[in-house]
Amino acid sequence: MIDELSMTSLRPVTPTPTHGRSDERCDVRLAARLTWKDQRGTTRFASVVTQNLSERGVYVECQSAVSIPLFKLVHFQLEREGRDSDTLPFPLPQGRILSAVYRVTPAARSGRPQGLALRLMVDPKRRPIAQATQVRATA
pLDDT, position 95: 81
| Residue 126 pLDDT | 57
Checking if the pLDDT of 74 tops 50, the result is yes
**pLDDT, mean of residues 104-108:** 91
How would residue 133 be classed by pLDDT, with cut points 50, 70 and 90? very low
| Long-range Cβ contact pairs of 61-68 (< 8 A, separation 24 or more) | 61/112, 61/113, 61/114, 61/115, 61/116, 62/113, 62/114, 62/115, 62/116, 63/1, 63/2, 63/113, 65/107, 65/114, 66/34, 66/114, 66/116, 68/34, 68/36, 68/101, 68/104, 68/116
Q: What does the pLDDT look like over 1-31, one tens digit per residue?
A: 444 444 444 555 544 444 565 677 888 899 9
User: What would you report as the CA-atom Rg of the chain, rounded to the nearest whole angstrom?
Assistant: 15
pLDDT value at residue 40: 93
Task: Give the model confidence (pLDDT) of 75-93 as tens digits.
Answer: 999 988 776 666 677 667 7
pLDDT confidence of residue 10: 52
The mean pLDDT of the chain is: 78
Domain boundaries, the chain: 2-138
Read off the pLDDT of residues 39-69 as tens digits, 9 standing for 90 and up. Answer: 999 999 999 999 998 888 999 999 888 999 9
Nearest Cα neighbor of 51 from 127, 122, 116 is 116
Q: The whole model's pTM is what?
A: 0.72
pLDDT at 136 over 80: no
Residue-level pLDDT at 22: 65
Nearest to 86 by CA among 125, 134, 126, 46: 134
In the CATH scheme, what is the code of domain 2-138?
2.40.10.220
